[in-house]
Structure 1
Amino acid sequence: MQDKTAGQAGQQQAVPAWARVVELFPPSDRVLSTILARQAERYGDRVLLVAGRTRWTYAQAATIAAASALTLIEAGIKPGDRVALMCSNRPEFLQIYLGCAWLGAIAVPINTALRGLQLAHIFRNSRPVLLVAEAGFLAAIEAVGADADLPPLVWTIGPVRETRRIASVPLPALGPGAPAGAVRPGDAVAILYTSGTTGPAKGVCCPQAQLFWWGVCSARALGIRDGDILFTTLPLFHTNALNAFYQAVLNGCTYVLEPKFSASGFWAAARAHNASVGYLLGAMASMLLAQPRTEEDTAHRVRVALGGGVPPQVQRPFLERFGVPLVDGYGSTETNFVFAGPIPSDRPGTMGHLADGFEARIVDEDDSELPDGQAGELVLRPKEPFAFATGYFGMPEKTVEAWRNLWFHSGDRVVRDADGHYRFIDRMKDSIRRRGENVSSWEVEELILSHPAVAACAIYPLPSELGEDEVAAALLLKQGQTLQPADIIRHCEGRIAYFAIPRYVRIMSEMPLTENGKIRKGALQQAGVTTGTWDREAAGIRVRR
């Protein structure tokens, strides 16, 4: 099959790619099986995916999705069943994800850094009937608590190793395909877990149409064109890299998936792939700027990059050095690309303006709207059906709380300026953002409190040299107990994600408390790095991943 659009690309550039997508896929067609089949017919042999040595054309991607669906059906997977995925950035992840979407099953991507109680919670909450795991993660899965039932069926990517609790078989080879399932735009295509701030991680139910709109709205914000090469090093188990795949397939682009981010190798990889669009988080931009200058800093074709969370003081130096404007924006796993700035930004470091298709308010604790210039909670809702998530899996009370009064409550403290710019202030609750990952203070505190010497613990953020947060722990020891700060690091290793392990440890003689007995984390944060604060990086201690 040949690419039928090659001779028409120039004529179509007058109409933005994302605008054509909305016309080509009316509401009932905003499901991935229909999208893949229609784009296979439209683009044929054009390359859709590049992942290492793997290349999929548009036509092959549709064939692989149908064949993957049949392997799932033959294993007994039905529409609505959950299929857990613990896999790094490799084509097998997308193979299983596409098969689930084609069939109507629900993919449950798992952060590959999770360990212990975090993994156990996901298995208990999502109750997957199949787990597809890279061989290197089987030991972590095996180590989850006995109270968490592992899926009855496990497929392994890579060498199969029998363990005490896991009887796995190799990932089945693909054969013929299955017809697309009777999937609707409001059906869940994935459950993506986002770190809780005051409790366990919540599984966000993402409908088929939400990912469609992620592809459309992100393409609109980035100015994506037919034929662009989208280059990401971000993990597929997060919204960012997953929705970049939708951006590609919806807009006739090539999706280049690298295994992981490398500050020293990023631009060389972008040049090798001839990339035109990139995806960065705040800390990544800072790391790239920290690299030694070379004559090849602008020897690439990257026209624009997503720069979510990039500090304002980084954006202009980044543009001047690399020639790449960074797009300000805002979205979450539960919502969509609801705010975006122009290219280049007219107010670096803000969230940008509210995008078409969404409504936003800044409200007080009673959900009453606040005037411009006054900080409050950001609440959102879409104008298109199923453009947002539909709730939290297995947590009806959390769903009602977040979507109360028919608005999604973001938990973010935001200000709307009189000129229409929105500015992020902080989280309403206790959350830490480290190296592009959300850290649940509650989960880290629960783990540290399990140490027999610890009486009380508070986890809070301290500023990082990279413009995001570092995790700090304040501890109160039990009477007569002693420990070294390094003991806490060893206690956390293997039991929680490496990025959640504290950098700073401060052992307190007493905790600052509120009138009702709660620890005043604000006071700890305001004190910063004190003379009594231990820094594991200064001590030369590295955490195992």
Structure 2
Amino acid sequence: MIVTKNEAPANISKAIGQENVTPAWARAVTSFPPSDRILSTILTRQAERYGERILLVAGEARWTFAQTAAIAAASAQALIDAGIKPGDRVALMCSNRPEFLQVYLGCAWLGAIAVPINTALRGFQLSHIFRNSRPALLVVEAQFASAIESVEAGVELPPRTWIIGAAAGASDARLSAVALPARGAAAPAGAVRPGDTVAILYTSGTTGPAKGVCCPQAQLFWWGIYSARALGIREGDVLFTTLPLFHTNALNAFYQALLNGCTYVLESKFSASGFWAAARRHDATVGYLLGAMASMLLAQPQSAEDSTHRLRVALGGGVPPQIHGPFRERFGVPLVDGYGSTETNFVFAGRIPPDRPGTMGYLADGIEARIVDENDSALPDGEAGELVLRAGEPFAFATGYFGMPEKTVEAWRNLWFHSGDRVVRDPGGHYRFIDRMKDSIRRRGENVSSWEVEQTIQSHPAVAACAIYPLPSELGEDEVAAAILLEPGQSLDPVDVIRHCEGQIAYFAIPRYVRILSQMPLTENGKIKKGVLRDAGVTADTWDREAAGVKVRR
């Protein structure tokens, strides 16, 4: 099949057991025609529709739909007062707090661009984001202000900084910092279009630094629609996430709640021991789990309260297939498979109940997909190749990489987005992930750039060459492994490798496994054969950080 479109059941309401109900997501599609798929219009209309219904629960904060629209307008005015204009970038380094959404919504309201930053980034990675995005304002939570000190000398920092959670003041002399301003007057909504960038989300590079994905206003609208449809979200549901707002999963869950008349519960972080207690406390009905999280929940001691909750369904992208059955049997919650990326959308989803657990599922309505060879020629069903995708709806996908036109052209060549993932489609329209074609690693729900880790380790004076590659994790997804070739006459303790990485790259990117080699396996043209290293697995000469009891300092 050359081009495939959705093979999911035609009557999705029937598939989720709501034959006589018009889903809220379907109503949202008709309520917001293409020109209205911008956040300011959505907030205003949903505030009129739902008024005093609670939209956001985060810590002590409780925002109604009406309050959220007002907060967005007031935040926009504070940004305008600080000199922020439409198109300006606002860097945002903050944990799961309501202030994150306050600033994000203000940017979206006036037409500025939010640049969420992973709070674990340091050194080279953080420097690259500032260098690439050139923000006009930095909004940073007090506990992360010291991370700015790791930004390389010579990198220009924003002329203004707002500090969340503390009085004005920051240790880096390059920052001109004041406290996050109080909300004041309401700004009128900016002249924003559906194709305008609302956020730049940085995703792991493979042969280079991280790329800033330009996410348009309408893309986040469709994230809310496609995800709600896949999960069978109903008006009045309570959506419960512990995932970080600087990633697309938690951010688009906010849109799911906004578009579908739901309550969005944002926990500060994931806790395997506290997850179900929090779900019960909030009367959550829909949850969000990625990769190893489901395995961690199953590893907790069994309890009589394991199924005493209201959770009806949970997103389970990347959860190993052998976990699905035991998870549903113990907790009473089906895990919905799915596939998406920052550049695309929630483009594949499994059925409820799952029919092929642990796989990608079926293509979403409005999306086109091909499986292609190295020349972009379509492959037949049953033959694995690269997955390429195209959206049928305007601006349902990202528009490119910020400041990286060559990377944009490369990824969207022939007018299809190239995922870099090897996938196979069966004759029934079911898609299965095989492996990554890219040199990338995914650990605990985070993408790790092997290139960035290699650059960091190779900056150690004792290291001549380094190769970073994935090894399987017992929790699902990958662990980071490093093979190191030393300079002549040098020696290096694996613990020193860990300490060298600390403060320069994110804690989750620091290798668990280290191998010191006398020679690297090379191709004829001198490239390291990472496949040989990966296939060797954990060898007798592989040092294991966890087995050695070495803790990474964050």
Q: Same fold (TM over 0.5)?
A: yes
Q: 2:399 aligns with which of 390, 394, 397?
A: 390
2:73 and 2:106 in contact (8 A); partners too? yes
1:26 aligns with 2:72: no
CA distance in 1, matches of 2:139, 2:465: 38
Mapping of residues 465-484 of structure 1, within 5 Å: 465-484=474-493
2:57 is paired with a residue whose SS is strand
SS of the equivalent of 1:538 reads helix
CA contact (8 A) 1:135 1:161 kept: no
- The alignment partner of 2:265 has SS state of strand
Q: Which TM-score applies when normalising by structure 1? A: 0.97
Matches within 5 A, 1:445-484: 445-484=454-493
Cα deviation code 1:97-149 (max 9, x no counterpart): 00000000000000000000000000000000000000111111122101211
The CA deviation at 1:161 is 2.9
Matches within 5 A, 1:232-243: 232-243=241-252
In the alignment, which of 146, 150, 174 is matched to residue 165 of structure 1? 174
Could you tell me how far apart the structure 2 residues matched to 1:220 and 1:405 are?
Answer: 29
- Cα distance in structure 2, aligned partners of 1:237 and 1:429: 23
- What's 1:82 paired with? 89
Corresponding position of 1:360: 369
Aligned to 2:150: 143
3-state SS in 1 of match to 2:46: helix
Q: Secondary structure at the match of 2:79?
A: helix
Give the percent of matched residue pairs that are identical in Structure 1 and Structure 2. Answer: 81
Q: Which residue of 2 aligns with 1:342?
A: 351
Of the three residues 371, 374, 379, the one matched with 1:370 is 379
Deviation, structure 1 residue 345: 1.2
How far did residue 418 of structure 1 move?
1.5
Residues 210-221 of structure 1 correspond to what in structure 2 (within 5 A)?
A: 210-221=219-230
Structure 2 residue corresponding to 1:194, chosen from 193, 203, 215 = 203
SS of 1:491's partner is helix
Q: 2:443 aligns with which of 424, 430, 434?
A: 434
Runs of at least 5 residues in structure 2 that lack an aligned partner in the other structure: 1-17
Deviations 1:151-192 (A, max 9, x none): 000000022333222220000000110000010000000000
The 2-side partners of 1:66 and 1:215 are apart by 21
**Corresponding position of 1:130:** 137
* TM-score, normalising length: structure 2: 0.96
Q: Deviation string for 1:20-44 (max 9, x for gaps)?
A: 0101100000000000000000000
Match of 1:174 in 2: 183
Q: How does 1:484-499 map to 2 (within 5 A)?
A: 484-499=493-508
Instruction: Give the C-alpha shift of residue 12 in structure 1.
Output: 11
What per-residue deviation string (whole Å, max 9, x for no partner) do you get for residues 463-511 of structure 1?
Answer: 1110111000000000000110100000000110000000000000111
- Where does residue 185 of structure 1 map in the other structure? 194
Q: Supply the distance in 2 between the matched residues of 1:62 and 1:158 (Cα, whole angstroms).
A: 23
SS at match of 2:118: coil
Which residue is equivalent to 1:6? Answer: none
Does 2:252 correspond to 1:250?
no
Q: Deviations over 1:363-419 (max 9, x none)?
A: 001100001111111000010000000000000000000001010001111111111
1:142/1:166 contact within 8 Å kept: no
Q: Is the 8 A contact 2:145 2:170 kept in 1?
A: no
Letter in 2 for 1:31: I
Deviations 1:311-346 (A, max 9, x none): 000001000000000001100000001101101210
2:435 counterpart letter in structure 1: D
Output the CA distance in 1 between the equivalents of 2:112 and 2:476.
Answer: 39
Greater RCO, 1 or 2 (C-alpha within 8 Å, sep 6+): 2
- 1:105 pairs, out of 112, 137, 149, with 112
Inter-partner Cα distance in structure 2 for 1:153 and 1:128 = 9
In 2, are the aligned partners of 1:453 and 1:477 still within 8 Å (CA)?
Answer: yes
Match of 1:39 among 35, 41, 46: 46
Question: Residue type matched to 1:525 in 2?
Answer: R
2:14 corresponds in structure 1 to none
Find the aligned partners of 1:344 and 1:111 in 2 and give their Cα distance: 34
> Is the CA contact 1:456–1:475 (under 8 Å) kept in the aligned structure 2?
yes
CA RMSD of aligned residues (A): 1.0
- Three-state SS of the structure 2 residue aligned to 1:537 is helix
Partner of residue 506, structure 1: 515
Task: Give the length in aligned residue pairs.
Answer: 535
Which of 404, 414, 426 aligns to 1:405? It is 414
Pair 1:227-2:236 in alignment:
yes
Cα drift, residue 13 of structure 1: 6.7
Aligned match of 2:56: 49
- What CA distance in whole angstroms lies between the structure 2 residues aligned with 1:199 and 1:476? 21
Rounded to whole Å, the distance in 1 between the matches of 2:438 and 2:51 is 48
Q: What CA distance in whole angstroms lies between the structure 2 residues aligned with 1:161 and 1:19?
A: 48
Separation in 2, partners of 1:488, 1:344: 46
Label 1:521 to 1:241 Cα distance change in 2 as closer, same or farther (>3 A).
Answer: same
Residue aligned with 1:79, SS:
coil
Q: Secondary structure at the match of 1:338?
A: strand
Tell me the residue number matched to 2:279: 270
> 8 Å contact 2:294–2:323 — kept in the other structure?
yes
Aligned residue number for residue 8 of structure 1: none
Q: Structure 1 stretches of 5 or more lacking a match?
A: 1-10
Alpha-carbon distance in 2 for matches of 1:289, 1:38: 41
